[in-house]
Structure 1
Amino acid sequence: MKKIKIFMMMLLAVLSFAACDDDDDDSKQSIISEYTLNDQQVAAQKAKSGKDKAVLLVAFGSTWTNAFAAFDETKRAYEAAFPDADVYFCFSSDICINRASAGEHGESRNYYEPRYLLHAIGAAKYNTVYVQSLQVIPGEEFANVVAAVKKFANNGYVKDAHLDDKYLKNVEIHLGMPLLNNLDEVDDVAKLLNDLYKDEAAQGVVAFMGHGNPDNYDSFKANVRYTQLEEALQVYSKNYYVGTVDMKGNYKQDVMTRMKNKNIASGKIYLHALMSIAGDHAHNDMAGAGNDYWDASEPTSEDNSWYEFFNHNGYTSVVPQTNDNPLGLLELPTIRQIWINHTKNAELLEDAYHSMYPEAE
């Protein structure tokens, strides 16, 4: 069996205090130097286990220990679902990579960018490669995944370390879509969420907090999936609502307006993260409790958590938890299975790309 040693040396930039998930203040962004094999000797190459198929899972990333556990559980689920493949896992966010390595929340983990794992997979010459996005909607972050895979397929990823063109010409590259890729999947997810939370919906509002994209970054017009999911859930109960932290017109105050328009002005509101994992957004923007998460002078401020916002507007906020943490979607086996099914049914990269960009030649 051919053995390829792992050489993983990454130059960490200065860490800032901003959250891993996102931050619009450029001064708070962690800056990562350009990597090349020449000056960093970075290669994420793993000895093949005798299999000719590889699955690369691409998450945005996180620094929370409960999120690491969700990633581990997801990788194990994929290994069980794809016994004929080697399964790899990576983060697309440089900031999350840096801060996970630094142990921002106590546990240190080393994750790497897709380009290094893709180069490793190519160097090991797997015959078939599945790249699975663990995003919820096909928005900005998924567009970045698509760009990464296209660059790999075009042999343009790592400077001065090009892969074998003959290999790349023959390798099968499949692209797995995000959770809510089309309207049929919206309906499927709505049914599964109702199966999980119908008892809560019988007692009060069940509000899901997704991420969403700012208007300028709404790739593939994916924000509509949140509206569609709310509509699909309300077929089961008027008590289901779906909002975001970053989609204009669908913030927590917009959710409350829609609730009041249906005469829901008080009562319990159960809060759940509509994100792959429960990271900074779930712990802070959604579930943050106490004075640090409420500014009465700016009640709709994005710094005010959903928990405090609804508590201060006549509702009783409840954040269901498991092992003292809210859950992300990857921790719900029936929802996670949809991602697995996407991988099993993943189109070849060229077909998937042209279905998203029909004008492309």
Structure 2
Amino acid sequence: MMILVVSFGTSYPDSLDNCIGAVENAIRASFPEDEVRRAFTSQVILRILKKRDNMEIAYVKDALERALSEDIREMVIQPTHLMDGLEYMKLMDVVEEYRQQFERIVVAKPLLMDDSDFDAVASILADKTVMYDDGETAICFMGHGTEAKSNEIYRKLQEKFSEMGRENYYIGTVEAEPSLDEVISLLHGAGIYKKVLLEPLMLVSGDHARHDMAGDQEDSWKRRLAGEGYDVTCILEGIGQIPEIQQLYVKHTGEAVKRLKNVEEVRG
């Protein structure tokens, strides 16, 4: 059996090592008898890494082809996506193209699928940022957002924060809802905040985190919020750096391994 960890990818070497690599290493440490390989779904990022760093990382289809050429017929795929959004759907389409060529192939869950996942992630993020929770700081996470129905994960995670009594925790997205404008409206409505902590709700700290969130351009979240009178602090760390998040992926991988061993997902 082989475990293929599939990520969208990143062109930032530190995030590649500290976020994606850290998740892969956690899975590798938990399944020492199985080979763990890496694949990306973004061909743009693959081209950047090849041209700039001469780094060869497999596109997901190429990783599957290589496995078949090496007579690997049992595979667990662990996506590092946060949700079953558009990128996850693309991955599933690729898996279906190849399913008939494997004896068994199982795709593990992304990070946020079941209620237990949301409970765990909300608790992990709250624990990670507790030192900033001083009564006058709004703790805001920036997600990517998607056109897919799974965009509702942001609302659901927000509800989990509320259930925990973390009313000063807010979630916005770059490309969907809730928007930064909605977050700003909520901050003004609360009327108690002097400071804002910004942190990406993404596996890696990539372009969105470094530019859309923490950049110096006028429309960045940092500049927008500073313009509203808040003292803004940015943390440029993807959630893949958090050991407890890594272990959630390990848990999902373990569930998929169990399915592969106990449930015959043979030829569709």
Tell me whether the two structures share a fold, i.e. TM-score over 0.5.
yes
Match of 2:183, SS state, is helix
How far 1:213 moved relative to its partner? Answer: 0.6
The AA in structure 2 aligned to 1:110 is E
Counterpart of 2:169 in structure 1 is 240
The AA in structure 1 aligned to 2:27 is Y
User: What is the Cα-based RMSD across aligned positions, in Å?
Assistant: 1.9
Counterpart of 2:144 in structure 1 is 211
Counterpart of 1:332 in structure 2 is 242
Equivalent of 1:66, from 14, 26, 45? 14
Larger radius of gyration: 1
CA distance in 2, matches of 1:83, 1:206: 38
Q: Deviations over 1:210-257 (max 9, x none)?
A: 11113xxx0xx211110111111132321100111111x311111111
Equivalent of 1:186, from 109, 118, 121? 118
Q: Deviations over 1:17-45 (max 9, x none)?
A: xxxxxxxxxxxxxxxxxxxxxxxxxxxxx
Q: How many residues align?
A: 259
When normalised by structure 1's length, the TM-score is 0.68
Q: Deviations over 1:166-220 (max 9, x none)?
A: xx3xx22111111111232111110111111122122511101111113xxx0xx
How far 1:127 moved relative to its partner? Answer: 4.5
Contact 1:130 1:174 in 2 (8 A): yes
Contact 1:62 1:96 in 2 (8 A): yes
Structure 1's unaligned 5+ residue stretches are: 1-52, 156-167, 295-303, 321-325, 354-360
Contact 2:202 2:238 in 1 (8 A): yes
Equivalent of 1:141, from 73, 87, 91? 87
Match of 1:237, SS state, is coil
Equivalent of 2:63, from 109, 117, 122? 117
CA distance in 2, matches of 1:137, 1:192: 17
Are 1:270 and 2:180 matched, yes or no? Answer: no
How far 1:284 moved relative to its partner? Answer: 0.6
The AA in structure 2 aligned to 1:332 is I
Counterpart of 2:153 in structure 1 is 225
Which structure has the highest helix share of the two? 2
CA distance in 1, matches of 2:150, 2:24: 26
Identity of aligned residues (%): 26
Counterpart of 1:319 in structure 2 is 234
Structure 2's unaligned 5+ residue stretches are: none
